[in-house]
A = this chain, B = another copy of it.
């Protein structure tokens, strides 16, 4: 297996232009790319509104034209940091490089002797999931500028904005049940 195969981790709530630009830069440096959709078990919360299946579809469509073998895979959280690397490896093809800026992820892969490379620079302030979800909740159509057009279209098809707006109200009321 002499291919250069790398791992890119994210929650992709939603898949946005920040992810998209980074992945296009990474694509130039590897033969195959594994995109792990983390926190796969979560959906329908203000922080994680979309299901793993919906996020996988966003990514697959947005990257359809990228000439690279991609593996877009759901990865559930595991409540044991010390098993995280083994958990990822059993769900994915073998990889020799991880792209991440997250200090915990960096530490865990480093302790397992797997090299981690910092992500290529993108403007974090604009392309940031929390920001985009807040625009969605506020009913501000600006969110469409921050995601690839096929992602916006898919979010419309699954009625994603209404879902996020409705479940967001739970934050304020749930303590009253």
Contacts and interface: CB of A to CB of B under 8 A. Distances in A.
Contacts of A167: 103-104, 107
Given A41-B79, A173-B102, A177-B129, A107 B163 contact: yes
A71 B60 contact: yes
A103 B170 contact: yes
A104 B56 contact: no
B42 A89 contact: no
Contacts of A126: none
Most B CB contacts (10 A, CB to CB) among A11, A57, A80 go to A80
Task: With a 10 A CB-CB cut-off, give which of A56, A86, A94, A173 has the most chain B CB atoms.
Answer: A86
Interface stretch (A23-31, A44-52, A142-150): A44-52
User: How many monomers of this protein are in the complex?
Assistant: 6
Interface residues of A, number: 62
A107 to B, nearest CB: 5
Given A85-B86, A166-B103, A108 B53 contact: no
A111 B94 CA distance: 13
Interface of A: 1, 10-11, 40-45, 51-54, 56-57, 60, 64, 69, 71-74, 76, 79-83, 85-87, 89-94, 101-104, 106-108, 111, 124, 128-130, 157-158, 163, 166-170, 173-177
